[in-house]
Amino acid sequence: MSNLISTSFTIETEQEDDGCWIAETLELPGALVYGDNQQHAVAHVKALALHVIADKQNYGEADLASS
């Protein structure tokens, strides 16, 4: 089993009925954030994705793969 993590991510956004935005990375299950607007949600999910990748590398759970 490969422990490679892509360095490219697909980010999907959706606006909730209350006006908040959700952004998530499809390649990192659970990496989902809320934002006041679409730009904030995207910026926060990018930051979260970087933290997840750093943690996985720090604990030897994954290596980066260029896409």
What was the pLDDT predicted at 20?
97
Q: What pTM did the predictor assign?
A: 0.77
CA-closest candidate to residue 49, choices 67, 24, 66 = 24
Alpha carbons within 13 A on the beta-carbon side of 5: 21
At 47, the amino acid letter reads A
What was the pLDDT predicted at 4?
53
For the chain, the structural domain boundaries read 4-59
Digit-by-digit pLDDT tens for the chain (67 residues) are 455 555 688 999 999 999 999 999 998 889 999 999 999 999 999 999 999 988 888 888 766 555 5
